[in-house]
Amino acid sequence: MSTAAGSARIRQQLLPAIRESILSGGLKPGSKIIESQLAASFGVSRTPLREALLHLEREGLVRSDLRRGFTVEPLSARDVRETYPLLAALECFAVRNSAEFIPPLLPSLEQLNEKFRRARSPKQALELDTQFHNTLMSPSRNSRLADLVVSLRLAIRRYEHIYMSDASMIPTSADQHETILAAVCKGAVDKALKEIELNYTFGVHVLLRKMGEE
């Protein structure tokens, strides 16, 4: 294997590991990335590490500076205010245009929500919440919408981890999910859309308070 090919392979292995460390808070927002230490922890040289970090910079998770090197992108109230309403709008669009196909999914959605309510860790809660919303949107079969949602969910994953780390918030979110499903079951599409928007708006308010903003 050529040196270039080997470096590319190592970079592809590093990417998900570093990304997950940032998204879960292992690498703290705003913290400086000590390349030598990080490379040693993964047992790699600094070249593929730097390539992986440059890729993550394009994803908006790290930033680089000629003098300071790489730092983890700080959390931003602006990200919360801008991204959550977009996700809510996309989910409402998907549900509005495929509402008639959602009722057969209600048993699966209810089961996911109950698992979510009983989640034992922020990571598990986040995975189940994501599954719930993805399943709710799945009948739309709009591939462009799905790609946008994946990108936006990646952008807010750090914020979602903060939200899910507060165990008291999970039952509240599960109750909101139940209200959405009850509206879908009754065929009250407008009511379901309103409850979806409230679910996302509630998350925005909680996160902004945790970040010291109103």
All structural domains of the chain, each given as residue ranges with its CATH number in brackets, are 3-72 (1.10.10.10), 77-210 (1.20.120.530)
- Residues in contact with 144: Cβ distance below 8 Å, sequence separation at least 6, in sequence order: none
Mean pLDDT (the chain) is 91
CA-wise closest residue to 137 among 123, 118, 152: 152
* Model pLDDT for residues 150-185, shown as the tens digit of each residue: 999 988 988 999 999 999 999 999 999 999 999 999
pTM of the prediction? 0.84
* Model pLDDT for residues 70-91, shown as the tens digit of each residue: 999 999 999 999 999 999 999 9
Question: What are 64's strand-pairing partners?
Answer: 70
Contact 207, 159 (CB under 8 A): yes
Indicate the burial class of 45 (C-beta count within 10 angstroms; 0-12, 13-18, 19 or more): exposed
Tokens (6 digits) for 126: 């986040």
